[in-house]
Amino acid sequence: MGKKQPNMNAGAAVLFVIFSLLFFILLFRFVSIQVTGEVHGQALAARAQQKYSNEKVIEAVRGTIFDRKGEVVAEDTTSYTLVAILDESVTTNKNKPQHVKDPEKTAAVLAKYLDMSESDIYKRLTKEGAWQVEFGNAGRDISYKTKQEMEAEKLPGITFLQDSKRFYPNGIFSSHLVGFVEKKEIDDQKSISVGKLGIEEAMNEELTGENGSINFKSDLWGLLLPDAEEKITPAKDGDDIYLTIDKKIQTFAEDAVERVDKEYQPKKILVVVADPKTGDILAMAQRPSFHPSTREGLDQSWHNEIVETPIEPGSTMKIFTLAAAIEENKWNPNEKYKSGSYNVTENSVPIGDHNNRQGWGMISYLEGIQRSSNVAAAKLVNEKIGTDKFREYLTDFGFDEPTGIDLPNEAVGKIQYQYPVEKVTVAYGQGSTFTPIQLIQAATAVANEGKMMKPRVIDKIVDPNTGKVINQQKPETVGQPISAATAKEVRDVLGTVITGEHGTGKSYAIDGYEVAGKTGTANITENGKYLSGESNYLFSFLGMAPKDDPKLIVYVAVQQPNIDQYYKGSIPTSMIFKSVMQSSLQYLNIKPATREKADSSPIPDVTGMEPGEAKTLLESKGFQTVVIGDGNKVQNQLPGGDIVALEGEKIIVKTSGAMTYPDMTDWSLRDVMKLAQLTGVKLNKAGSGYVTSQSLKPGLPIKEGENLIVQLETPLQQFEKSLKKPEKTEEVGG
C-alpha cells in the first residue's frame, strides 16, 4: 500500500501538467480569436455572415438593337445550359436517383439532342472525381423546346441552368455592321457576354448594362430566417440601340448580293446604300459574310471591308476630278483633246485609255468622261486644275481622314502624291487607296447640293426602363467642297454617262428614273504586283437617283467574278445596283419621273413635191426624213400621208431616178423594213435591237430583188462590245 501511493502521486502530477497545458493553449487561442477575429487567416465574422447570408445575382438584360423603324435586329432571349450531376452523394433516395446512374444509356439519349458524339458524351459522364460536368458549346444555348424534350426523357442527374442567348432573327443581315456576341469565361467560372465586331463591339458598354443582386439571411440549412430583411439591388438593363439601317432596304441588298454570289462566285461583293441628305447608312452588305448566331462563315471574313479595307477606287474617282474641274471653272465640255495616251513628263510611262491606248481620236471632254477616258481625267488635273489645287480638293472631299463612322477599326486609305505620275493617276482612281465609306461620304457632296454629310449608322440610344432617349444622333455636315451649282452640273454630266451615246454606264439605266453615276474598274494587287487575267479586277459603280434630287446613293463593288471576258464585269455589278436602287426607290415611294408625251400629228402627204421641199415640210413637223433616189419628184413615202405618228418618226421618201443605200447604222428593224418595202429589196436580219452593220454598203446602188442583210445588236451588247481588255495597268478605266 505504501508502494502504490508514490506512483499515484506521480501519475496525478503528469495529468495535471497535461491538463494545464491544454488549458493554457485553449485560453491563448480564445484570447487570440477575440483580439484578431480570425481563424487560420480567415475572418470569423465573414465566415458567419457567409453561413447565414445568401446573395444571388440578378443578371442585366443586354440591350436590343433595332433598325430605324423599330424592327428587332438583335436581342437577348432565354436559353439553357445542360448540366450532368455525377456525385452519388446527392442521391438520398435510391428509388429516386439524383445523379447519373447509367452513363451509357444517358450518353445514347443525349446524343440525339446534342451536336456531340455518343462516345464524347460518355467520357464526360464518367469523368473521375467530378461532382458535375457541362458539355461545352454543344450543351449551351439550348432552346426551351429542346429542353422540354430532353426533360421528357426523365434522365437521372440531368438538369439545366437558365441563361440568356443573343438572338439575330434576320440571320445573315448586315452581319459585319451588327456584329455578334460571345461568352467570355471569368475567374470564378462564370461567363459574361462580350460584343465582337460591329455595333455589338463598338457599343458593348452601353449594351451590357449592370447586374443587380438579392441578399437575404438564412439558417444553417439555407432556410430563410423569420423576419429576415431582404436587400435587393435591381439590375440595370443595357441600353437599346436604334440603327439607321432600314430592314427592307437591307433585305433588298442581301437578296441581290446573294443572287450574284451564287451565279458569278466572286471573291468579294460590297454594297452600301446611303441617304445623301443625312448621311444615314440604310444598308450595308458584303460577301463573304457570316451568320451571327452560329458564326458560320466567320472564318472567311473577319473584317467589315466597307469600313476597314482601303481599295483603289478606279474610275469612280473621276466623279471628284470632274467636280474639282467644274468648281475651278476649268471645265469646258465641248473643248477637244487628243485621246489615247498622255505623257505627264517626258520620261514617264504614258497614261493610256482603257481601249489599248487607241483612244477615239480628237474628242470633247464631255465625251471623254462618258467614255471613262483616263487621258481626260489626267489632263484635267495636270493642265487645267493643277496638281497642288487638286490635292486640296482631295482633302476637302475627306480622303485624308477616316469618316468617324460609329463602327470599330475604321481604316483610312493612302494618297500617293509624291511623283508627277502619282499626282495624275489618282485623278482616275489608280495608285491611291480609299475605303468605300470614304467614297460614300464624298459622294454625298455631289448628291446634296455640295454639302458633305458624315456617314452614320446609329440613330439614337434609348433607356429600356424609362423609354427616355439618352443620345439622339443628329445628321452632321462635315464640309462643303463644292457649290450647289457645281453639284448639279456634275450630276448632269454623270447622267450622260448613263444616257449618252458613248456612255459606259448604259447598263445601269433604270426605267422611269434618271440615274447619275460613274463606273469603275480597278486593278487587284497581290504581293505588290497587279494581277493579269480577264476577271482579276474590282468592278464597281457609284450612282445616285433621281438625278435632279437624289434620295439615295448606292455603291456596288464586285471583285474577281467568274467571267470569261473583261467587259462582262459590268453585268453582275449592274444586276445588284439596278435591283437595289429601283426596289428601294419604289419602297420609299419615290415616284418615277413623269415623261412628257411626244407630240403626235398627221404625217403630211408629200408625194409629187420636190425632195427638198418635202424634207423641209416633214422636218418642220418633227419627223426625221430620209430621201432615197436622185429624182426631182417624190413618188412614194412610208409611212403614208395623213397617218398619225409620234414626233421623231423616221419617214422614208422615195423619188424618181437612181437609188443608193443610206447609212442605216442605229436604225431600228422597223425603219429598215420601210426601206425594203419601198425599194423592193429582200431583207434578212441577224440579231435584235439596232443596226450595227449592213451587207450592202452606203452609196451602193439599190437593185430591186437583191438580198440585204443587216446585223442588229441591243444597246447593252453594243456597250459591252465597245470595251476591250486593257493590256497595261495604266489603261484601266470604265
CATH of the domain at 379: 3.40.710.10
Angle of CA points 55, 57, 62, to nearest 5°: 170
In this model, does residue 41 exceed pLDDT 80? Answer: no
pLDDT of residue 473: 92
What contacts 20, CB < 8 A, 6 or more positions away? none
On whether both 554 and 604 belong to a single domain, the answer is no
Q: What is the pLDDT of residues 587-626, one digit of tens each?
A: 999 988 755 555 678 888 988 888 888 888 888 888 889 9
Q: Could you tell me if 679 and 542 lie in one domain?
A: no
- Residues 222 and 297 both lie in one domain: no
Q: Identify whether residues 558 and 631 lie together within a single domain.
A: no
2: CB partners within 8 A, 6+ apart: none
Confidence of residue 15 (pLDDT cuts 50, 70, 90): low
85-103 average pLDDT score: 87
Residues of the domain holding 71? 56-243
In a domain, 654, yes or no: yes
The predicted model gives 14-29 an average pLDDT of 66
Residue 372 resides in a domain = yes
Q: What is the pLDDT of residue 491?
A: 97
Cα dihedral sign for 585, 397, 487, 480? positive
Q: Which of 576, 593, 610 is the last residue in one of the domains?
A: 593
Residue 315 catalytic?
yes
516 and 629 inside one domain? no
How many domains, in total, are found in the chain?
3
Distance, in Å, from the CA atom of 317 to the CA atom of 427, rounded to the nearest integer, reads 6
pLDDT in tens, 366-394: 999 999 999 999 999 999 999 999 999 99
Whole-structure pTM value: 0.74
CB 606 within 8 A of CB 617: yes
C-alpha cell at position 222:
439555407
Both 199 and 313 in one domain: the answer is no
- Tell me if 698 sits within 8 A of 661, measured CB to CB: yes
The residue from 315, 372, 432, 579 that is catalytic is 315
Does 276 lie in the same domain as 229? no
Contact 508, 574 (CB under 8 A): yes
Q: How far apart are CA 140 and CA 162, in angstroms?
A: 10
Residue after which a domain boundary falls, among 222, 243, 264: 243
- Asked if 268 and 162 sit in the same domain, the reply is no
264, 562 contact by CB (below 8 A): yes
Average the pLDDT over 99-104 and give the result: 90
Question: For the chain, what is the mean pLDDT?
Answer: 86
Helices 436-447, 318-327: inter-axial angle, 10-degree rounding: 40
Cα–Cα distance, 178 to 197 (Å, whole number): 7
The reply to whether 94 and 195 lie within a common domain is yes
Specify whether 90 is located in the same domain as 176: yes
Which H or E run includes 142? none
Same domain, 194 and 74: yes
